[in-house]
Amino acid sequence: MSTIYPFWNVFFVKNRQQIFNFNIIIFNFYWSVTNIIYFYKVYITSLIAFHLIESEDSNFTIFYKSLKNSFCAFGSISFAGLLIAIIETLRFIVNDERDENDRERKSNAFKRILLCITSILLSIMQNFIKMANEITLPYIAIHGTGYVKSMKNSFELLQKGDIKPFTGTIVINFMLFFMFMITSVCCVIVSILLMDKISEKILNVLIISAIPLLFYFIWTIVFSASYLSIIYLFADRPLLFKEIDKKLYDNLQCLRSL
Protein backbone atom coordinates (compact mmCIF):
# COMPACT_ATOMS: atom_id res chain seq x y z
CA MET A 1 0.00 0.00 0.00
CA SER A 2 2.95 2.33 0.56
CA THR A 3 3.57 2.45 -3.21
CA ILE A 4 0.14 3.93 -3.95
CA TYR A 5 1.01 7.48 -2.94
CA PRO A 6 4.00 7.87 -5.34
CA PHE A 7 1.75 6.58 -8.14
CA TRP A 8 -0.90 9.11 -7.04
CA ASN A 9 1.62 11.95 -7.04
CA VAL A 10 2.81 11.23 -10.57
CA PHE A 11 -0.58 11.18 -12.27
CA PHE A 12 -2.54 13.67 -10.19
CA VAL A 13 -2.05 17.13 -8.76
CA LYS A 14 -1.43 16.76 -5.07
CA ASN A 15 -3.59 19.28 -3.24
CA ARG A 16 -5.35 19.08 0.10
CA GLN A 17 -8.74 18.09 -1.27
CA GLN A 18 -7.30 15.24 -3.36
CA ILE A 19 -5.22 13.99 -0.44
CA PHE A 20 -8.29 14.06 1.80
CA ASN A 21 -10.41 12.20 -0.78
CA PHE A 22 -7.69 9.62 -1.29
CA ASN A 23 -7.34 9.04 2.46
CA ILE A 24 -11.12 8.55 2.69
CA ILE A 25 -10.87 5.89 -0.04
CA ILE A 26 -8.07 4.15 1.84
CA PHE A 27 -10.06 4.30 5.09
CA ASN A 28 -13.19 2.85 3.44
CA PHE A 29 -11.11 0.10 1.85
CA TYR A 30 -9.53 -0.93 5.17
CA TRP A 31 -12.86 -0.76 6.99
CA SER A 32 -14.72 -2.80 4.35
CA VAL A 33 -12.07 -5.53 4.12
CA THR A 34 -11.72 -5.77 7.91
CA ASN A 35 -15.51 -5.99 8.36
CA ILE A 36 -15.70 -8.84 5.85
CA ILE A 37 -12.90 -10.75 7.61
CA TYR A 38 -14.37 -10.20 11.08
CA PHE A 39 -17.88 -11.11 9.93
CA TYR A 40 -16.52 -14.36 8.50
CA LYS A 41 -14.75 -15.11 11.81
CA VAL A 42 -17.90 -14.46 13.84
CA TYR A 43 -19.93 -16.63 11.44
CA ILE A 44 -17.49 -19.56 11.75
CA THR A 45 -17.48 -19.22 15.54
CA SER A 46 -21.30 -19.14 15.61
CA LEU A 47 -21.49 -22.13 13.28
CA ILE A 48 -19.27 -24.26 15.53
CA ALA A 49 -21.10 -23.12 18.67
CA PHE A 50 -24.58 -23.90 17.33
CA HIS A 51 -23.37 -27.22 15.96
CA LEU A 52 -22.15 -28.23 19.43
CA ILE A 53 -24.98 -26.75 21.49
CA GLU A 54 -27.90 -27.66 19.23
CA SER A 55 -26.56 -30.73 17.48
CA GLU A 56 -30.06 -32.13 16.93
CA ASP A 57 -31.02 -29.26 14.59
CA SER A 58 -30.76 -29.65 10.85
CA ASN A 59 -27.82 -28.22 8.93
CA PHE A 60 -30.01 -25.52 7.40
CA THR A 61 -31.29 -24.46 10.83
CA ILE A 62 -27.74 -24.23 12.19
CA PHE A 63 -26.69 -22.26 9.10
CA TYR A 64 -29.62 -19.86 9.50
CA LYS A 65 -29.04 -19.33 13.23
CA SER A 66 -25.32 -18.75 12.68
CA LEU A 67 -25.96 -16.23 9.94
CA LYS A 68 -28.60 -14.46 12.02
CA ASN A 69 -26.27 -14.36 15.01
CA SER A 70 -23.51 -12.88 12.86
CA PHE A 71 -25.77 -10.12 11.56
CA CYS A 72 -26.93 -9.37 15.11
CA ALA A 73 -23.28 -8.88 16.06
CA PHE A 74 -22.57 -6.67 13.04
CA GLY A 75 -22.53 -3.49 15.16
CA SER A 76 -19.69 -4.83 17.30
CA ILE A 77 -17.98 -6.21 14.20
CA SER A 78 -18.13 -2.79 12.53
CA PHE A 79 -16.76 -1.10 15.65
CA ALA A 80 -13.84 -3.55 15.80
CA GLY A 81 -13.21 -2.98 12.10
CA LEU A 82 -13.46 0.78 12.59
CA LEU A 83 -10.64 0.74 15.16
CA ILE A 84 -8.40 -1.21 12.80
CA ALA A 85 -9.30 1.01 9.83
CA ILE A 86 -8.43 4.19 11.76
CA ILE A 87 -5.04 2.83 12.84
CA GLU A 88 -4.27 1.48 9.36
CA THR A 89 -5.17 4.77 7.70
CA LEU A 90 -3.08 6.77 10.19
CA ARG A 91 -0.13 4.45 9.58
CA PHE A 92 -0.60 4.87 5.85
CA ILE A 93 -0.53 8.67 6.17
CA VAL A 94 2.48 8.66 8.53
CA ASN A 95 4.49 6.26 6.37
CA ASP A 96 3.78 8.33 3.27
CA GLU A 97 4.88 11.46 5.10
CA ARG A 98 8.07 9.66 6.14
CA ASP A 99 8.77 8.63 2.53
CA GLU A 100 8.19 12.17 1.31
CA ASN A 101 10.38 13.55 4.08
CA ASP A 102 13.19 11.13 3.17
CA ARG A 103 13.04 12.24 -0.46
CA GLU A 104 13.61 15.87 0.48
CA ARG A 105 17.24 16.95 0.50
CA LYS A 106 16.79 19.43 3.35
CA SER A 107 14.69 17.24 5.61
CA ASN A 108 13.93 18.19 9.19
CA ALA A 109 15.66 15.77 11.59
CA PHE A 110 13.18 16.45 14.38
CA LYS A 111 10.27 15.79 12.04
CA ARG A 112 11.81 12.50 10.91
CA ILE A 113 12.30 11.36 14.51
CA LEU A 114 8.74 12.36 15.39
CA LEU A 115 7.31 10.50 12.40
CA CYS A 116 9.37 7.42 13.26
CA ILE A 117 8.13 7.41 16.87
CA THR A 118 4.54 7.95 15.70
CA SER A 119 4.84 5.04 13.27
CA ILE A 120 6.15 2.74 16.03
CA LEU A 121 3.38 3.76 18.44
CA LEU A 122 0.72 3.20 15.78
CA SER A 123 2.18 -0.22 15.01
CA ILE A 124 2.04 -1.17 18.70
CA MET A 125 -1.56 0.05 18.96
CA GLN A 126 -2.49 -1.86 15.82
CA ASN A 127 -1.04 -5.13 17.14
CA PHE A 128 -2.76 -4.69 20.49
CA ILE A 129 -6.16 -3.95 18.93
CA LYS A 130 -5.82 -6.91 16.56
CA MET A 131 -4.96 -9.18 19.48
CA ALA A 132 -7.90 -7.81 21.49
CA ASN A 133 -10.26 -8.32 18.56
CA GLU A 134 -9.05 -11.90 18.11
CA ILE A 135 -10.17 -12.88 21.61
CA THR A 136 -13.18 -10.52 21.80
CA LEU A 137 -15.06 -11.42 18.61
CA PRO A 138 -15.52 -15.13 19.51
CA TYR A 139 -16.91 -14.04 22.89
CA ILE A 140 -19.35 -11.72 21.10
CA ALA A 141 -20.44 -14.56 18.80
CA ILE A 142 -21.12 -16.96 21.68
CA HIS A 143 -22.53 -14.66 24.37
CA GLY A 144 -24.05 -11.86 22.28
CA THR A 145 -22.73 -9.07 24.52
CA GLY A 146 -21.40 -5.70 23.37
CA TYR A 147 -17.86 -5.03 22.26
CA VAL A 148 -16.59 -3.35 25.44
CA LYS A 149 -18.21 -5.87 27.81
CA SER A 150 -17.01 -8.78 25.68
CA MET A 151 -13.46 -7.46 25.71
CA LYS A 152 -13.55 -7.05 29.49
CA ASN A 153 -14.97 -10.54 30.10
CA SER A 154 -12.62 -12.23 27.63
CA PHE A 155 -9.58 -10.62 29.24
CA GLU A 156 -10.85 -11.74 32.65
CA LEU A 157 -11.09 -15.32 31.37
CA LEU A 158 -7.60 -14.95 29.95
CA GLN A 159 -6.21 -13.77 33.30
CA LYS A 160 -7.92 -16.61 35.19
CA GLY A 161 -6.39 -19.15 32.84
CA ASP A 162 -9.78 -20.51 31.77
CA ILE A 163 -8.84 -19.98 28.14
CA LYS A 164 -5.50 -20.18 26.32
CA PRO A 165 -6.23 -18.74 22.89
CA PHE A 166 -2.70 -18.02 21.75
CA THR A 167 -1.13 -21.45 22.27
CA GLY A 168 -3.53 -23.21 19.93
CA THR A 169 -3.71 -20.44 17.32
CA ILE A 170 0.09 -20.23 17.08
CA VAL A 171 0.34 -23.98 16.49
CA ILE A 172 -2.52 -23.91 13.97
CA ASN A 173 -1.06 -20.96 12.05
CA PHE A 174 2.39 -22.57 11.99
CA MET A 175 1.05 -25.85 10.62
CA LEU A 176 -1.07 -24.11 7.99
CA PHE A 177 1.84 -21.87 6.96
CA PHE A 178 4.10 -24.93 6.62
CA MET A 179 1.51 -26.63 4.42
CA PHE A 180 1.09 -23.42 2.42
CA MET A 181 4.84 -23.18 1.75
CA ILE A 182 5.07 -26.79 0.59
CA THR A 183 2.02 -26.41 -1.66
CA SER A 184 3.26 -23.13 -3.12
CA VAL A 185 6.71 -24.53 -3.92
CA CYS A 186 5.18 -27.59 -5.61
CA CYS A 187 2.77 -25.42 -7.63
CA VAL A 188 5.53 -23.04 -8.72
CA ILE A 189 7.81 -25.90 -9.82
CA VAL A 190 5.03 -27.56 -11.80
CA SER A 191 4.02 -24.26 -13.45
CA ILE A 192 7.63 -23.53 -14.48
CA LEU A 193 8.08 -26.97 -15.99
CA LEU A 194 4.84 -26.81 -17.95
CA MET A 195 5.29 -23.33 -19.46
CA ASP A 196 7.70 -22.43 -22.26
CA LYS A 197 7.86 -18.64 -22.56
CA ILE A 198 9.42 -16.57 -19.77
CA SER A 199 6.58 -14.03 -19.69
CA GLU A 200 4.02 -16.80 -19.46
CA LYS A 201 6.07 -18.47 -16.71
CA ILE A 202 6.08 -15.32 -14.60
CA LEU A 203 2.34 -14.79 -15.01
CA ASN A 204 1.59 -18.43 -14.33
CA VAL A 205 3.80 -18.47 -11.21
CA LEU A 206 2.00 -15.42 -9.84
CA ILE A 207 -1.43 -16.95 -10.45
CA ILE A 208 -0.48 -20.36 -9.08
CA SER A 209 1.10 -18.80 -5.99
CA ALA A 210 -1.99 -16.68 -5.32
CA ILE A 211 -4.27 -19.72 -5.12
CA PRO A 212 -2.48 -21.41 -2.16
CA LEU A 213 -2.18 -18.02 -0.48
CA LEU A 214 -5.93 -17.50 -0.72
CA PHE A 215 -6.65 -20.95 0.68
CA TYR A 216 -4.10 -20.41 3.46
CA PHE A 217 -5.79 -17.16 4.44
CA ILE A 218 -9.28 -18.71 4.42
CA TRP A 219 -8.30 -21.84 6.33
CA THR A 220 -6.35 -19.83 8.90
CA ILE A 221 -9.55 -17.95 9.73
CA VAL A 222 -11.62 -21.15 9.78
CA PHE A 223 -9.30 -23.12 12.06
CA SER A 224 -8.49 -20.26 14.44
CA ALA A 225 -12.17 -19.26 14.76
CA SER A 226 -13.18 -22.90 15.33
CA TYR A 227 -10.52 -23.35 17.99
CA LEU A 228 -11.52 -20.17 19.82
CA SER A 229 -15.18 -21.15 19.65
CA ILE A 230 -14.41 -24.50 21.29
CA ILE A 231 -12.27 -23.13 24.13
CA TYR A 232 -14.79 -20.35 24.90
CA LEU A 233 -17.62 -22.87 25.01
CA PHE A 234 -15.52 -25.18 27.16
CA ALA A 235 -14.85 -22.36 29.62
CA ASP A 236 -18.58 -21.67 29.81
CA ARG A 237 -20.04 -25.20 29.51
CA PRO A 238 -17.42 -27.87 30.25
CA LEU A 239 -20.03 -30.57 30.91
CA LEU A 240 -21.37 -30.12 27.38
CA PHE A 241 -18.12 -31.51 25.95
CA LYS A 242 -18.14 -34.35 28.47
CA GLU A 243 -21.50 -35.41 27.07
CA ILE A 244 -20.49 -34.95 23.43
CA ASP A 245 -16.99 -36.42 23.40
CA LYS A 246 -15.18 -37.65 26.51
CA LYS A 247 -11.80 -37.72 24.75
CA LEU A 248 -12.17 -34.14 23.56
CA TYR A 249 -13.18 -33.16 27.09
CA ASP A 250 -10.03 -34.76 28.52
CA ASN A 251 -7.82 -33.03 25.94
CA LEU A 252 -9.34 -29.64 26.71
CA GLN A 253 -8.82 -30.26 30.41
CA CYS A 254 -5.15 -30.98 29.70
CA LEU A 255 -4.91 -27.80 27.66
CA ARG A 256 -6.40 -25.77 30.51
CA SER A 257 -3.90 -27.23 32.99
CA LEU A 258 -0.87 -26.24 30.87
pLDDT digits (tens, 9 = 90+) for 65-90: 999 999 999 999 999 999 999 999 99
How many whole angstroms separate alpha carbon 3 and alpha carbon 185?
Answer: 27
Please choose, from the candidates 24, 39, 26, the residue with its C-alpha nearest in 3D space to the C-alpha of residue 72.
39
Q: What is the CA radius of gyration of the chain?
A: 23
* pLDDT at residue 212, rounded to an integer: 75
d(CA 173, CA 227): 11
CA distance 182 to 41: 26
Question: End-to-end CA distance of the chain, in Å?
Answer: 41
pLDDT value for 194: 64
pLDDT at 12: 46
pLDDT, tens digit, for every residue of 43-65? Answer: 999 999 888 888 777 888 999 99
What is the per-residue pLDDT for 201? 63
Confidence of residue 28 (pLDDT cuts 50, 70, 90): very high
pLDDT confidence band for 140 (50 / 70 / 90): very high
CA 157 to chain centroid: 21
Judged against a pLDDT cut of 80, whether residue 179 lies above it is answered with no
**Range of weakest confidence among 165-169, 232-236, 240-244:** 165-169
In the predicted model, what is the mean pLDDT of residues 161-186?
A: 71
What is the distance of C-alpha 28 from the center of its chain? 17
CB 229 within 8 A of CB 43: no
Q: How confident is the model at residue 32 (pLDDT cuts 50, 70, 90)?
A: very high
* CA nearest neighbour of 229 among 143, 118, 152, 147: 143
